[in-house]
């Protein structure tokens, strides 16, 4: 999902995207695997490629993982780029919204394999970008229902609010103006809680803002990372 940034920022930065546990070429999630385990695995990747401390970005669920990385391995983080994300659903959404999402996830995951579609409503402000249609189809096909079930459960229970006031690295909040899954009110709460954080709102973009407005997104990332090299 980071294709535009992998190519668009490689002229100036070493850009690495990982296949998190349970996705892509990574193995399935073992029993009992939790949010801290995702953070420890991400730390191992940063150490393996020798890029720490790094500019670390995470979108949606990925942003919650990145926050957990900072909780356990702050020495590996040069800056944080939190994109259309949450301090966990419990930490960012009203209880009734969390309950509705959990019920929606249960219905989706109960579908037979031939009807299973992991594309959640409200990912884009408009129609999915045609330029990335094949990428989005590939991503949907690659989703493993059991991994998604575990991730959604972790997201529903996660609450990272206690960490936010203690973040001591430069932090960029990148948000789609029209994000309905993580509305701008969530971004404002992050900005109030994280000392010195900057918020950039991307006009016309929804939840997957890096694909919906890739040029503006990458430009904001470039400017921020340049300023904190």
Give the model confidence (pLDDT) of 108-157 as tens digits: 888 776 666 767 778 888 888 778 777 777 766 677 778 888 899 999 99
Q: What is the pLDDT of residue 61?
A: 95
Count how many Cα atoms sit within 13 Å of the Cα of residue 24 in the half-sphere of its side chain.
9
In the predicted structure, residue 207 carries a pLDDT above the cut 90: yes
- Examine the pLDDT at 190 and tell me if it is beyond 90: yes
Q: How far is CA 95 from the centre of its chain?
A: 21
Give residue 20's region: left, alpha or beta (phi > 0; psi -120 to 50).
beta
CB neighbour burial string for 130-140, b if at least 16 within 10 angstroms, e if fewer: eebeeebeeee
- Structure-model confidence comparison of residues 64 and 136, the more confident one: 64
122 or 175: which leads in pLDDT: 175
Instruction: Give pLDDT, residue 106.
Output: 86
Q: Which two tokens stand for residue 30?
A: 């073992």
Q: Are 111 and 198 in contact (CB under 8 A)?
A: no
What pLDDT, on the 0 to 100 scale, is given for residue 142?
72
- CA distances, 75 to each of 44, 54, 204, 207 (Å): 13, 9, 35, 29
**pLDDT for res 198:** 98
- pLDDT tens-digit series, residues 157-174: 999 999 999 999 999 999
Distance CA(98)–CA(105), nearest Å, equals 11
pLDDT band per the 50, 70, 90 thresholds, residue 182? very high
Which phi and psi (to 5°) does residue 176 adopt? -70, 130
Q: Where are the beta strands (DSSP E) in the chain?
A: 54-59, 77-83, 171-176, 198-202
Average pLDDT on 82-90 reads 98
User: How many CA atoms within 13 Å lie on the side-chain side of 9?
Assistant: 25
Query: How far from 112 is each of 22, 115, 116, 130, CA to CA, in Å?
Result: 20, 5, 6, 28
Question: CA 70 to CA 52: how far, in whole Å?
Answer: 12
Domain 3-227 listed as CATH 3.40.50.1820: yes
Query: Based on the number of CB atoms within 10 Å of its own CB, is 129 exposed (0-12), middle (13-18) or buried (19 or more)?
Result: middle
Q: Which pLDDT band, with edges at 50, 70 and 90, does 41 fall under?
A: very high
């Amino acid at each position: 999902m980071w294709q535009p940034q992998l190519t668009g920022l490689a002229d100036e930065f070493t850009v690495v995207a990982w296949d998190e546990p349970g996705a892509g070429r990574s193995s399935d999630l073992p029993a009992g695997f939790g949010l801290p385990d995702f953070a420890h695995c991400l730390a191992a990747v940063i150490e393996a490629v020798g890029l720490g401390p790094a500019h670390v970005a995470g979108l949606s669920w990925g942003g919650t993982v990145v926050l957990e990385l900072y909780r356990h391995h702050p020495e590996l983080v040069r800056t944080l780029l939190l994109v259309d994300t949450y301090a966990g659903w419990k930490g960012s959404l009203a209880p009734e919204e969390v309950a509705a999402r959990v019920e929606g996830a249960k219905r989706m995951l109960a579908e037979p394999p031939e009807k299973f579609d992991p594309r959640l409503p409200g990912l884009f402000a408009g129609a999915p970008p045609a330029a990335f249609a094949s990428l989005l189809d590939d991503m949907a096909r690659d989703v493993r229902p059991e991994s998604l079930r575990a991730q959604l459960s972790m997201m529903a229970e996660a609450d990272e609010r206690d960490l936010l006031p203690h973040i001591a690295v430069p932090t960029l909040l990148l948000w789609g103006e029209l994000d309905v899954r993580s509305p701008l009110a969530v971004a404002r709460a992050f900005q109030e809680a994280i000392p010195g954080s900057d918020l950039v709102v991307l006009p016309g973009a929804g939840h997957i803002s890096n694909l919906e407005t890739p040029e503006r997104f990458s430009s904001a990332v470039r400017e921020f990372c340049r300023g904190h090299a």
